Amino acid sequence: MQTINDVVNALDGIVQRSYDNASRIGYFAALYRRVTCVVRDGITAGTFDDNALMEQLDVVCASRYLDALASFQSTGNATRSWMVAFQGCEDADLLILQQLLAGMNAHINLDLGIAAAQVSPGRQLALLKPDFDQINAVLASMVATVAAEIAVVSPLIGDLETIGLRSATPVINFDVVTARDAAWFAAQRLNAQPAILHDITVDALDLAVSIEGRAILYPPDDCRKCLIPIQQAESTDVRMVIETLSQA
């Protein structure tokens, strides 16, 4: 991966193969492709203070996901966080939203902070912060549209809040801005450490994020029972779900 267009092309391939194979791995890939295209449009329009650095951040961050998926599909192994997310895609009893959030959890809480520290070492990290925060506005602009699309394939998804699961389970309690704040903290921590400690820190972070991912996919039994009617009302047509999440 050298450019953000390379990333989009790679994601195109994953989405198409997932569609052909009716694989739920395509859910996160379709959504991630849309986010990447919005970021690309922002870079083209000169939205960011340092557009070249933002492209580099996107490429490095995306490469971690692409490498994890390639490793999982070829060897059955990946980082702990991505193993949880990819294995969750094989469970047809999970909500579409759960499978999306497990991918977002791994990519934001694990990959993003590592990528930020990598592309902006030392004092350069502080210079990245304004553009890093600007991405939150990009994501916020997409929330309503994506929520409406999920409601098309999961018509009872609004019941999550109705039955009080917003605070009771990570299924709905996952917050993108909070996750990005955690990613920035991880970047700062890596940036402040000697390189010899990075592997230990990343391994500990991966373990913590994988635990969060498992909580998203497999909440306590009383919460899980409440999810059953919502899941049973969802579309079982994997290709249609991928198409819906790929609309843009």
Find, among 97, 53, 102, 112, the residue nearest to 80 by Cα. 102
- Is 230 in a helix, a strand, or coil? helix
Quickly state the pLDDT bin for 137 (edges 50, 70, 90).
confident
Residue 183's CB is within 10 A of a number of other CB atoms, namely 25
Quickly state the pLDDT bin for 80 (edges 50, 70, 90).
very high
Instruction: Report pTM.
Output: 0.92
Task: Give me the pLDDT at residue 140, please.
Answer: 74
